[in-house]
Amino acid sequence: MKKLTTHIATIISIFCLTLGAAFAQTTVKGTITDAKTGETLPYVNVQVVGTTIGSTSDAEGRYSLTLPANTSVIKFTYIGYVSLEKPVTPGIEQTINVKMAVDAVMLKEVTVKGKTSRYRNKDNPAVQLIREVIAHKEQNQMAGNDYVEYEQYEKIALALSNLSESFKDRRIFRNYQFLFVNQDSSGLGGKSMLPAYMQEKLSKVYFRKNPYTKKQWVEADRKAEFDAKFIDNDGLNAYFRRLYEDVDIYKNDISIATNLLLSPIANTAPTFYKFFIRDTVKTQTPWLIELGFVPRNKTDMLFEGKLFITLDGNYGVQNAYLTVNRDINLNFMRDLEAKLEFEKSSDGRYHPSKTTLGMEFALGEKAAGLYGQRVVNFKNYTINQPRPDSVYKGPAQENTTEVLPKRGDDYWNNVRHIPLELLEKNIYRNVDTLQTIPSFRRTMDIATLLLAGYKSFGIVEVGPVNTFYSFNPVEGFRLRFGGRTTTELSNRLYFESYAAYGFKDEKWKYFFSGTYSLNNKSIYQFPFHYIRASFQRDTKIPGQDLQFVQEDNFLLSFKRGDNNRWLYNDIFKIEYIRELASHFSYKVGFSQWNQTPAGILRYEKVDNEGNIQRVPQLKNTELSLELRYAPNEQFYQGKLYRTPLINRSPIFTVRYNVGIKGFLSGENNYHTLTANIAKRYYLSQYGYADITTEGGYIFGSHIPFPLLMIHRANQTYAYQLNSYNLMNFLEFVSDHYASLDVQYYLNGFIFNKIPLLKRLKLREVISVKALVGGLRNENNPDKQSSVFRFPVDAQDKSISYGLGRTPYVEGSVGVANIFKLLRLDLVKRFNYLNHPGVSEWGIRARFRVDF
């Protein structure tokens, strides 16, 4: 996530502009209170008399308004209170605090009466009203019909915001002046900003209630694309869609910037929100009640805003305005605004007609920001008309043709539901032009080197640079240099290689691979379909399994405890990989692996007379098959790894490996079967939990321990999600096992209630990792002398073990979101504390940028 966020910031940082104001402005701010009780009044309407310019006060009664220079009077109106006007002194910043008096006559005209006493749910007409809305949710949402279909147009626009005038005049932007010509700063939320990315999509959506299916057929798609050498355009699009997901008011939780916020009409909404009757709208049929709502705790993952509820007995939502409190525990969120519009259809229900979600992210209140807006428009509803099953089958989103044709301006001008904003009209052309400017390409080249670790030289790119230097006890000081070819050489054939040298062991290590793409696409672009052959001679730590990082990364050179059990590996591999659009994939592989122990690690057997015999090398030949299914998977494809954008959907993985004795010097027969399921469970206001279960069984006898399951250990000081953080390398070995890993993120649910802590916006994390397994007698060195004996330390004591009847368990409690990027965990190991060199307690750190 950190890498992805920095990528986006680097790209967008090229687009910068501050447009001077056309005329002087006046800023007015203040607080609005009840004249009698002194209580602040939320959502009071503040308007410039004689214009449509206005705003509303926030949940604490505060307001701020920027006015034209000729403004002399502003008006304050609030249901149940006497309206009043206040004079304004033009041209200066001023504070006008307002006290409003209750209008007893107007209160009698409100259909549902409110109270000014201390807030409570009991006998509260606003709460009674929202309970009616909740009770009628099922009949009012789309699932109230058996079939629904409609046409959907959507666009996502991204822009820089809050730019300073001096930014445009910097020397670095002298080649980008075309971006600053004839721009209008009034669009996209009414702030000074310049769009830098956009995507449009036209679809036909089909809903079926039973079995529940919602299928989107994409008819046209258009986006501003950057050079694939620098950016994964599909991943960028997936990331923006993850941030700006559909806003469905009828769901209990609404996804905002990868977090779930509780809907104001969720089943539990009266527990977490305060509701207020603000107005009765009698100018249309049916009449509407304007219902305001605010969070009980301003830092919780909750909205504030207003709903317009129909008074026709259906209690449907006719309109909604959502925002968030400025104290909410969301990172980098400076502004959020969601507007939901509904229209009455032939079936009597209010169906969505337009949703607008705008969010502005920034590092500070006054700093330049990044504003994004997603607009979705719906029309041509057809109710209760069934379609053939073929319309609903397959993934949730599909293109109407395998490759969508590129559509020009004429097509989009005809099919758009709503016209583009003035600034958006030039964005496609601007992005294309920008990439032809040499200085921009040089800037992106440098950014790719610093952030992704690769420097491009046309047909080849050199990297990753963070692996060029590292050290370990076996090799000592280690230097490495490598690179790979790019699509500029070929769209079909790719080569990758590196060479490394250890100054302590004085040995060369190297790697070479050749890959042939079978779909004429880059082998780093979804969906994969290629065949690869490779050979690697290098070192490895048994039982270390790293995610999203190279093993010879410099930062991972620092390890706790003894780190002197290594392997020299010679591995030849042939792999065939195929991914389908449904995110089902399979991988077939062949490998020939020769491993030689290094450091203090020795491969030894005990003969019939009790003598220890050293085995210089273990040779193994293996066939493998991996099946993986990740429905609705989202990710950003980086230069080395895919950064997952985790959602609700599970990921299933099954692996089968078979050892072949006698083929290409293979020395062992065995069959290994493993299965893994990973899923995120969202718990609304209580955070979310990532749960991973895994199990495996190795069929066969007299199998040496290096070919058994060496459980993933971690001896670095970084917290690793997929490893046991207080387990030593090579400590536990099994031929059958089952494991459970729970990472529970409370998202500040507890800290948000503590007065001093909630200002820091910290978040709680709890984890539990448990492992159960064992060794059958025929594979246990303590029971079977014909297999390799377990490694020993200098005192000839075993340092590797099979699991007994007691499972291995470790847990941690942590504080995340420290400085918005650091997680610190206090980790405890609960058992097997009598093993040499283990720690019962440890502190581990993990860096993560998240919203």
Tens digits of residue pLDDT in 57-105: 877 788 888 887 777 889 988 766 788 899 988 878 889 999 988 776 5
Q: What is the band of 786 on the pLDDT scale with cuts at 50, 70, 90? A: confident
The token pair that represents 576 in the structure block: 């065939």
Please determine, for residue 527, whether its predicted confidence score (pLDDT) is greater than 50: yes
* pLDDT tens per residue, range 621-645: 999 999 999 998 888 877 667 788 8
Q: What DSSP state is assigned to residue 468?
A: S
Around Cβ 299, how many Cβ atoms within 10 Å?
21
Q: How far apart are CA 555 and CA 472, in angstroms?
A: 11
- Phi and psi at 102, nearest 5°, equal -70, 135
The residue-averaged pLDDT of 599-610 equals 82
Between 644 and 5, name the one with better pLDDT. Answer: 644
pLDDT tens track for 647-663: 889 999 999 999 999 99
351, 255, 361, 365: which is closest to 303 by C-alpha?
A: 255
Q: Which of 175, 154, 170, 292 is nearest to 222 (CA)?
A: 154
Amino acid in position 275: F
CA atoms within 13 A on the CB side of 393: 3
Q: What is the pLDDT of residues 762-784, one digit of tens each?
A: 999 999 999 999 999 999 998 88
CB 806 within 8 A of CB 771: no
CB under 8 Å to 781, separation ≥6 — which residues? 705, 787, 788, 789, 790
Residue 443, pLDDT above cutoff 90: no
- Give the pLDDT of residue 165: 67
CB neighbours of 96 closer than 8 A, spacing ≥ 6? 28, 29, 30, 74, 86, 88
- Whole-angstrom distance, CA of residue 179 vs CA of residue 173: 10
Are 168 and 193 in contact by the 8 Å Cβ rule? The answer is no
- Looking from the CA of 791 toward its CB, the CA atoms found within 13 Å total 24
* Residue 124 identity (one-letter amino acid): N
CA dist 316 and 307 (Å) reads 10
Q: Quote the Cα angle for 152-154-156, to 5°.
A: 165
Distance CA 268, CA 252 (A): 8
Q: Which of 87-90's residues contact partners 24+ apart within 8 Å by CB, and which partners?
A: 88/26, 88/28, 89/26, 90/26
Specify which residues 371 forms β-bridges with: 159, 360
Question: Contact, 813 vs 634, CB < 8 A?
Answer: no
- The reported pLDDT for the residue numbered 423 is 66
Query: CA 111 to CA 113: how far, in whole Å?
Result: 6
pLDDT of residue 179: 67
For residue 757, the SS3 value is helix
Task: Quote the pTM value.
Answer: 0.80
Write down the pLDDT at residue 115. Answer: 43
Nearest CA among 245, 502, 198, 500 for reference residue 371 = 198
Pairing of strands 25-34, 62-68: antiparallel
Closest Cα partner for 340 from 317, 359, 309? 317
State how far Cα 781 lies from the chain centre.
45
Give me the amino acid identity at 800.
S
Amino acid 22: pLDDT: 33
Residue 712, Cα to own-chain centre: how many angstroms?
Answer: 25
- Cβ–Cβ under 8 Å, residues 503 and 470: no
Supply the angle between the helices 2-12 and 233-243 in degrees, to the nearest 10.
Answer: 100
Q: Which run of H or E residues covers position 478?
A: strand 476-485
Q: What is the pLDDT of residues 246-305, one digit of tens each?
A: 999 999 999 998 899 999 999 999 999 999 998 888 777 788 899 999 999 999 999 999
**Per-residue pLDDT, 651:** 96
Backbone angles phi, psi at 577, to 5 degrees: -125, 135
Find the radius of gyration of the CA atoms of the chain: 31
Phi, psi of 575 (to 5 degrees): -130, 140
Contact 56, 63 (CB under 8 A): yes
What the block records as the tokens of 582 is 């449904």
pLDDT at residue 7 above 70?
no
